[in-house]
Chains A and B, each alone.
Chain A
Amino acid sequence: MFIETAGPATGVAPAGLAGLPVNRRPKRRAVSPYLYILPAVVLLLVWTYWPLGQTVNLSFNDWNLIPTKPKQYVDVQKYAKVLSLPELHQALLNTGVYILAFLGISVALPLVFALLSRKVQGKARTAYQALIFVPFLITPVASSAVWRWLFAPEGGTIPAIAAALGAPMGNVFRNPDSSMMAVIVIVGWQMLGFGVLVVSAGLAGISPDYAAAASIDGASGRQITWRIIIPLLSPSLVFLSLMTILLSAQWTYPIIDLVTQGGPGNSSTNIYYLLYQFGFRNFDAGLSSAAGTLFFLGFGLIALVFVELSERLSFYDN
């Protein structure tokens, strides 16, 4: 339905454009650019920005999501309540741990793998990369099912191996000490291949001339890696790190919902799963929105700081 609204561009553009001198970019007060971007902007406003405003609005109200029940304005009570909840502290702590774990799995580890495997090139490399990338494409219901099977106390491969090695393990998902680790393993398994491919592609984009020139000047392999390769890779690494920090909580969400439901006892929950529980389990729209507004502001601040830092730290070869 929205696509058709762009139709009028056909009617407006020909008359306006035909008489123009050949410019690199026609610069004038035309309606056509606005018509082209209209569908996208309308959709963004309706489904992203207006709801964002609504979330802020709901955060000052007490409401249980039942349309017939009126909302009740409660000022900042919901913020005060959510900040005092131990669940929130646990979820924030967990989210921090998830982020650190994925900085290791989808940034640091891929960097090490990509650097160590530089010597493998050509068809062999393409084949390895094709295999390593597969887990990233697995749909969350399937990956959670497969790993529940691999970790199953009866007949599961991993407990069988652990028992054979003399370290029997119970049900990892039901143990508060291991539930988070299990979520990290599943999501890490999916993200590792993505990290390896991004870093490898970044590496392949670096001209071998730099290393060759440095080596002629007498630089050692270690010096070349630390002084030339890694600085030139920094845009890829900064990108991966920013994505990991901003999106870790979203990557883990489906697996948490499908495998542990945040438990046992909130041991594996994260901030976004908490929003879901507040909103769709406890039907406390105000509480969920207050927490959501805080997370939005927090991540926005982190992203701004990060972009600012990366502008200063990133090293480009052009």
Chain B
Amino acid sequence: MAFITIAPPAQPGSSDVALSAPTKVSGPFSSLRSVPSHILLIALAIVSIFPIYWMFVTAFRPPSDALSTNPLPGPLSLENFQYVLKTIPIAGMLANTFGMALALAVSQLLVAILASYGFARWDFVGKKALYLLFVGSWLVPFQVTMIPNYLLVSQMGLLNTITGVVIPQLCSAFAVMMLRQHLEAFPKDLLDAGQMDGRSSWRTLWEVVVPNLRPALAALGIMLFISAWNEYLWPSLIMQKSDALIQVGIRGFLGAEGNNWGAIMAASSLACLPIFLIYIFLQRYVVDAFVRSGLK
């Protein structure tokens, strides 16, 4: 939902070129001249990281030290985490949210693979008009359609269920547009070769196209997962009487705990943990996918 793309991304092969640095200008003074740049970037990095650092530092302090202004962690304690685990079923919330985000990422990816293949491979009557449906959908903010969506989910009897959160978002127009651009750049020779081998279009898709697009699909899938995990508006409307998902469950905890900052920071760091782990291990994919959405 949050991302739109208005121009084709770099070709699959050249994406590394776009993000990796050009060859370094060497010379005796190049390192000296870059000192102000380093200072600027360090300052920016500190501003970006300090709140997150502070979240973890506060979470790992003994509750009696919560108001400490010592910038260093000091004696570590797991008491805040134990308190959170005891007070709210946070493990269950994390598992539910993980399942929700995974289901959304997988279904959005599948729907987008099929649709983008249909658009990229054939010319057909009404193609432009149908594609316009996808481009136009980012002009329809979710807040404008939330009442009819809410009523529909309610009629289906899915209020306060995870299914109700998932179902309206099974198709991501953004994913369709991103993948279509990848597929348009897909070598036509490979498709034709598949066809000459007597493969059906269905088998060509799964045996030729998908295996060759694996990096792009992985990047897009991770991005869809992160977006689903961080989605707030729709879960907050649908799950008003349930705290099965982390976004809503922690919101209730924040309200109940008031100024118990140690516990609040512990719960918050748990809410971000899965995304941090993904980022640490798959950083390239994550940055690539999010930034490519904004490349010319």
Q: Interface residues, chain A, CB within 8 Å of chain B?
A: 2-3, 6, 9-10, 13-14, 17-18, 20, 22, 24-27, 29-30, 32-37, 39-41, 43-52, 54-55, 58, 65, 67, 113, 116-122, 124-126, 128-150, 152, 154-155, 157, 160, 189, 192-194, 196-198, 201-202, 204-205, 208, 235-236, 239-240, 242-243, 246-247, 249-251, 253-254, 257-258, 272, 275-276, 279-280, 285, 288-289, 292-293, 295-296, 299-300, 303, 307, 316
B21, A122: Cβ atoms closer than 8 Å:
yes
Q: List 23 A-B contacts (CB under 8 A).
A: A3-B111, A13-B202, A27-B122, A33-B119, A37-B119, A40-B112, A40-B176, A41-B133, A48-B145, A48-B173, A49-B133, A51-B145, A54-B148, A55-B145, A116-B40, A139-B271, A145-B265, A201-B295, A239-B5, A247-B2, A254-B236, A275-B144, A293-B144
A36, B115: Cβ atoms closer than 8 Å:
yes
A26 to B204, CA, bound (A): 14
B-chain residues with CB within 8 Å of residue A307 when the two chains form the complex: 6
Does residue B96 face the partner (Cβ distance < 8 Å to A)?
Answer: no
Sample of 5 further A-B pairs with CB below 8 A, known A30-B124, A47-B168, A197-B290: A13-B201, A39-B111, A194-B290, A204-B20, A296-B140
Does residue B279 face the partner (Cβ distance < 8 Å to A)?
Answer: yes
Interface of B is mostly: helix
CB < 8 Å: which of B17, B51, B145 contacts A52? Answer: B145
A148 to B55, CA, bound (A): 11
**Smallest Cβ-Cβ distance to A7: which chain B residue:** B202
CB < 8 Å: which of A55, A135, A139, A145 contacts B264? Answer: A145
* Contact A37 to B247, CB < 8 A, known contacts A17-B200, A119-B30, A254-B232: no
A233 to B48, CA, bound (A): 24
B295, A37: Cβ atoms closer than 8 Å:
no
Does residue B256 face the partner (Cβ distance < 8 Å to A)?
Answer: no
B-chain residues with CB within 8 Å of residue A205 when the two chains form the complex: 10, 17-18, 295-296
Q: Interface residues, chain B, CB within 8 Å of chain A?
A: 1-7, 10, 17-22, 24-25, 30, 33-34, 36-38, 40-42, 44-45, 47-49, 51-52, 54-55, 58, 66-67, 69, 107, 110-112, 114-115, 117-119, 121-125, 127, 130, 133-134, 137-149, 151-152, 154, 167-171, 173, 176, 188, 192, 195-196, 198, 200-203, 226, 229-230, 232-233, 236-237, 246-247, 250-251, 254, 259, 261, 264-265, 267-269, 271-272, 275-276, 279, 283, 286-287, 290-292, 294-296
CB < 8 Å: which of B2, B24, B200 contacts A121? Answer: B24
B130, A253: Cβ atoms closer than 8 Å:
no
Tell me the smallest distance from the CB of B3 to a CB of chain A, in Å. Answer: 8
A65 to B146, CA, bound (A): 12
B233, A253: Cβ atoms closer than 8 Å:
yes
B-chain residues with CB within 8 Å of residue A52 when the two chains form the complex: 140, 144-145, 148
A133 to B264, CA, bound (A): 23
A24, B144: Cβ atoms closer than 8 Å:
no
Tell me the smallest distance from the CB of A29 to a CB of chain B, in Å. Answer: 7
**Smallest Cβ-Cβ distance to B283: which chain A residue:** A130
Interface of A is mostly: helix
Tell me the smallest distance from the CB of A285 to a CB of chain B, in Å. Answer: 6
A146, B54: Cβ atoms closer than 8 Å:
yes
B7, A142: Cβ atoms closer than 8 Å:
no
In the A-B complex, the 6 residue pairs with the smallest Cβ-Cβ separation, listed nearest first, are A36-B118, A235-B296, A43-B171, A155-B67, A51-B148, A14-B200
A130 to B49, CA, bound (A): 10
B49, A201: Cβ atoms closer than 8 Å:
no
A-chain residues with CB within 8 Å of residue B167 when the two chains form the complex: 47
B-chain residues with CB within 8 Å of residue A146 when the two chains form the complex: 51-52, 54-55, 265, 268
A-chain residues with CB within 8 Å of residue B148 when the two chains form the complex: 50-52, 54-55, 58
CB < 8 Å: which of B127, B139, B149, B250 contacts A51? Answer: B149
A39 to B114, CA, bound (A): 8
* Contact A257 to B34, CB < 8 A, known contacts A142-B269, A275-B143: no
A157, B143: Cβ atoms closer than 8 Å:
no
A202, B296: Cβ atoms closer than 8 Å:
yes
A-chain residues with CB within 8 Å of residue B54 when the two chains form the complex: 146, 149-150, 157
CB < 8 Å: which of B124, B230, B286 contacts A34? Answer: B124
A141, B122: Cβ atoms closer than 8 Å:
no
A258 to B236, CA, bound (A): 10
A-chain residues with CB within 8 Å of residue B7 when the two chains form the complex: 235, 239
Tell me the smallest distance from the CB of B230 to a CB of chain A, in Å. Answer: 5
CB < 8 Å: which of A142, A189, A194 contacts B268? Answer: A142
Which of A10, A145, A154 has the most CB atoms of chain B within a 10 A radius of its CB? Answer: A145
A-chain residues with CB within 8 Å of residue B192 when the two chains form the complex: 22, 24
Which of A67, A149, A299 has the most CB atoms of chain B within a 10 A radius of its CB? Answer: A149
CB < 8 Å: which of A25, A26, A131 contacts B45? Answer: A131
Tell me the smallest distance from the CB of B153 to a CB of chain A, in Å. Answer: 10
